[in-house]
């Protein structure tokens, strides 16, 4: 009855966990972007087909997808796809990805196209078997008895898989294996070009995790290209023992080489990377302060998740963060 594109057996948002399956998006250009799924009304156990027109909720603003009433984003976005984020089937972050047009502002220059993304889980909601976004409700339809019987069998299988996935996820052994693989990948990527670095190294006597409180490591995480990426921490001046709140613009330290982060003075990685996060890995080899970012590949269309060990590059001196010969632009002394 329906041809579903890019099917994901899972939930749309955290509270969809037991109620929605087979989320899909139409990938054709210039067609209304209909989000399709099958949802169950938890009160009556009825099953409903849902079709939600995302044009009523999303706009393209300068090559960035935003939640917006009657945004009609599909008029300037193509190559739509869905991307699931999260362990197991925990699709609390279901992203709609596309290729967004950015007008040059000059009639003599053509527009450019950029990778763009939005987290559908932020605004797509479920109520009594019907999904909605920004108050706009999906068109719903009951399946035939034959279809419903088939769907219920699929739902039972999906629920069993969900329970198994949740039970398996989070075991210390599995988490260790996943993180070890990620760290090995970081090391391999950093050493496949120049300059080579040891991802487990630190900046000697200026090592950031020796002079800064690791619980305060943070970074602003804008969802658009070109935003200043400030790496933040509370650091101590080893001579005076005074503490400072310090913020370093790390676009002065890194470049994005086609989806791989590399050290480079004034590399400007933030022009093609966004959605930054900081995490800490501690092993026998040492401690690694890791930056994760969504970065464009060389064709500047598709995004990839890139990582870099900041602790191998960023230093802390006299209570301020820095890299190369650049010091933090913000350094505030904390009260004793």
| 157 and 40 within one domain | yes
Q: For 165-180, what is each residue's pLDDT tens digit? A: 545 544 555 555 555 5
Residues 146 and 184 in one domain: no
Any alpha helices (H) in 169-290, and if so which ranges?
Answer: 172-190, 208-211
pTM of the full structure:
0.48
Q: Is residue 178 part of a domain?
A: yes
Residue 102: which domain range? 14-168
More confident of the two residues 227 and 248: 248
Least confident range from 94-108, 120-134, 148-162: namely 148-162
pLDDT digits (tens, 9 = 90+) for 190-220: 554 444 566 777 877 888 988 998 888 888 8
One domain for residues 179 and 313: yes
Domain boundary among 137, 168, 199: 168
Domains of the chain: total: 2
Residue 50: per-residue pLDDT: 92
- With pLDDT > 70 as the criterion, what percentage of the chain qualifies? 73
The predicted-structure confidence for 69-119, as pLDDT tens digits, reads as follows 999 998 888 878 776 543 333 345 577 888 888 887 777 778 888 878 888
From 168, 193, 208, the end of a domain falls on 168
Do 253 and 111 share a structural domain? no
203 and 317 belong to one structural domain: yes
Residue 257 dihedral angles phi and psi, to the nearest 5°: -100, 80
Residue 321: band (very low, low, confident or very high) from pLDDT cuts 50, 70, 90? very high
**274 and 216 within one domain:** yes
Confirm whether 5 is domain-assigned. no
Q: Considering the domain boundaries, does residue 307 fall inside one?
A: yes
Cβ atoms of 287 and 311 closer than 8 Å: yes
Residues 141 and 215 both lie in one domain:
no
- Taking the CA atoms of the chain, what radius of gyration do you get in angstroms? 23
CA distance 150 to 36: 17
Q: Answer whether residue 267 is part of any domain.
A: yes
Who's near 79: CB < 8 A, 6+ residues apart? 27, 29, 98, 99, 301
Same domain (yes/no): 253, 121: no
């Amino acid at each position: 009855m329906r041809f579903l594109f890019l099917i994901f057996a899972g939930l749309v948002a955290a509270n969809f966990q037991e109620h929605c399956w087979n989320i899909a998006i139409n990938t054709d250009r210039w067609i209304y972007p209909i989000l399709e799924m099958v949802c169950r009304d938890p009160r009556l156990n009825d099953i409903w087909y849902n079709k939600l027109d995302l044009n009523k909720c999303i706009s393209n603003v300068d090559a960035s997808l935003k939640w917006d009433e009657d945004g009609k984003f599909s008029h300037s976005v193509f190559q739509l796809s869905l991307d699931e984020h999260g362990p197991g089937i925990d699709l609390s972050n279901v992203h709609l990805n596309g290729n967004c047009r950015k007008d040059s502002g000059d009639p003599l220059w053509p527009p450019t196209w950029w990778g763009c993304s939005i987290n559908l889980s932020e605004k797509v909601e479920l109520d009594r078997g019907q999904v909605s976004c920004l108050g706009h409700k999906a068109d719903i339809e009951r399946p035939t008895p034959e279809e419903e019987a088939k769907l219920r069998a699929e739902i039972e299988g999906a629920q069993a898989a969900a329970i198994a996935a949740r039970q398996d996820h989070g075991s210390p052994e599995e988490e260790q294996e996943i993180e070890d693989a990620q760290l090995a990948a970081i090391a391999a990527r950093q050493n496949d070009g120049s300059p080579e670095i040891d991802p487990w190294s630190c900046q000697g006597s200026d090592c950031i995790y020796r002079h800064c409180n690791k619980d305060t490591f943070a970074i602003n995480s804008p969802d658009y290209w070109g935003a200043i990426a400030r790496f933040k921490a509370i650091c101590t001046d080893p001579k005076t023992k005074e503490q400072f709140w310090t913020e370093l613009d790390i676009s002065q330290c890194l470049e994005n080489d086609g989806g791989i982060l590399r050290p480079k003075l004034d590399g400007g990685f933030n022009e093609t990377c966004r959605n930054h996060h900081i995490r800490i890995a501690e092993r026998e080899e040492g401690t690694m302060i890791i930056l994760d970012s969504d970065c464009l590949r060389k064709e500047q269309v598709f995004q990839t998740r890139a990582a870099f060990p900041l602790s191998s590059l960023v230093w802390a001196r006299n209570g301020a963060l820095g890299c190369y010969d650049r010091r933090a632009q913000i350094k505030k002394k904390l009260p004793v």
